[in-house]
A = this chain, B = another copy of it.
């Protein structure tokens, strides 16, 4: 049995992708992770496709240089606009985005063939979820709603405050009114899972909520198994391994700006404390 001990690279514009990391840590207990948040240039969600592509490429190249075996683009905006180019340029290292797993889970969940997708402005504008859903099933109605303020509310830690409930009502109330309303809501931004309770309060219990963190973790597990790249649980006890085992923490954190803020805000999304001293600062401007 093969055992590939190299870490899995996880890339996001900032801290939202930590919801995806958290789901992967739970799902893949034998794997190590190398998380890079491009906090010097966040958010990606309000920026143009060309800019996001350039940023994502520079950032993921750093992960490749660190010897990761796979790159998970834990950012909906970057997945939406840059996945094709990243896949091409980072080959042969496999690249997995969050859009396709989320679209697949949404299609599996809907009964009335009506799906709502909430995301950043950039993801909505790019239309990647609409394309991904229609590639799986052409007769599904997809309605998109940009929810840019949700990003700030999540980063402020106002995960279930009156402010967030009021914003959720404003964004989602009109969408989920009437008999022909969507029966499925795809959270198309990695920030949004932490606002799930406030969102649930508006859409009610009858709507399926698809969280791309959990669906992406499942897709990564499948890809590792299919390509024989997983860590065998017994790998440390004799099976051949690739990559140097690390001592210490199972997950390394890198940020392109302010480790202190990464640690403070990141805790909201990761669901466990991060010490600022465990976050390494990298300067992407120093890269080629």
Within 8 A of B (CB), among A132-158: 148-149, 151-153, 155-156, 158
Q: Judging by beta carbons under 8 Å apart, are A170 and B161 in contact? A: yes
CA distance A158 to B39 in the complex (A): 26
CA distance A54 to B163 in the complex (A): 34
- CB neighbours of A258 from chain B (8 A): 46-48, 51
- CB neighbours of A121 from chain B (8 A): 261
Identical subunits present: 2
| Contact with A152, one of B40, B42, B152 (Cβ below 8 angstroms) | B152
Closest to A255 in B: B48
Query: Is the CB of A257 closer than 8 A to any CB of chain B?
Result: yes
- CB neighbours of A152 from chain B (8 A): 148-149, 151-153
CA distance A161 to B257 in the complex (A): 33
Query: Is the CB of A167 closer than 8 A to any CB of chain B?
Result: yes
Minimum CB–CB distance from A208 to chain B (whole Å) comes to: 26
CA distance A285 to B285 in the complex (A): 10
Query: Is the CB of A85 closer than 8 A to any CB of chain B?
Result: no
- CB neighbours of A156 from chain B (8 A): 148-149
Give me 18 other A-B pairs in contact (C-beta within 8 A), A40-B47, A163-B166 excluded. Answer: A39-B46, A39-B47, A40-B51, A46-B155, A46-B258, A46-B261, A48-B257, A48-B258, A121-B261, A148-B155, A149-B153, A149-B158, A151-B152, A152-B152, A152-B153, A161-B170, A163-B163, A163-B167
Chain A residues with a Cβ under 8 A of chain B: 39-42, 46-48, 51, 54, 121, 148-149, 151-153, 155-156, 158, 161-163, 166-167, 170, 257-258, 261, 285
